[in-house]
Homo-oligomer: A and B are copies of this chain.
């Protein structure tokens, strides 16, 4: 456990802090990084491996109990073949690196598609390594629709049509006043791909500039819908 992880010289500070038990990691930017460094897009993923181990070790030093990494999704599989091969391989490598640490590892995703890497099939049940420790979940060929479909496999109805809120469509932009960056249970299914814009001011202090700025910001965001 490196002291450098413990908030520099004030190592006691971490003890008094409210440490999250479970942290989600969305490790975005590998392809942009590759482009920015004169590499092909698919060469970025390899450079995302070391950060994964670093963030795990740091989380362990902080006392974080569970980490979930967003590997790749069912939708990501539509990407060009070179990229698909590269991020599948990166997930396998990432899992192997995690296995060298004190972790309780779970690989979660739809195993019934050829996108799921065979090498990881054995780890779709939680497995202890080096005596176990931090719960580490890696989402591999994960899909939110797949996840929610478990309940009604027999009913064969899509999750969207099975909501009380089925008359409310997918949300493109969510604007939250009051400076918190969270959804608080707001339409989880319609929010899966939404861009979230946070306004510092409290709602009663609404100004038309807020929506204006949110729209300007939204205009600059990439649309991927998970693709």
A residues neighboring B (CB under 8 Å): 4-5, 7, 14, 17-30, 32-33, 36, 44, 47-48, 50-51, 54-55, 58-59, 62, 66, 68, 70, 73, 75, 106, 108, 110, 126, 137, 139, 142-144, 146-152, 155, 157, 159, 162-165, 167-198, 201-206, 208, 211-212, 214-216, 218-219, 221-224, 226
Contact = CB atoms under 8 A, between A and B. Distances in A.
Given A5-B208, A165-B147, A206-B51, A29 B175 contact: no
- This chain: copies in complex: 2
Contacts of A191: 24, 183, 188
B55 A218 contact: no
A146 to B, nearest CB: 7
A50 B164 CA distance: 29
Given A17-B219, A176-B26, A201-B29, A137 B70 contact: no
B187 A147 contact: yes
14 contacts: A18-B218, A20-B218, A26-B178, A28-B180, A28-B202, A30-B202, A33-B202, A54-B206, A58-B212, A68-B171, A108-B164, A139-B186, A149-B164, A181-B198
Contacts of A50: 206
Contact of A33 (B4, B205, B208): B205
A36 to B, nearest CB: 8
A167 B126 contact: yes
Contacts of A197: 181
Contacts of A62: 211, 215
Contact of A187 (B5, B17, B144, B196): B144
B55 A206 contact: yes
Contacts of A181: 181, 195-198
Contacts of A180: 28, 195, 221-222
B23 A172 contact: yes
A204 B54 CA distance: 11
Contacts of A20: 172-173, 195, 215, 218
A174 B22 CA distance: 9
A150 to B, nearest CB: 5
Instruction: Select the residue from A14, A27, A143, A170 with max chain B CB neighbours within 10 A.
Output: A27
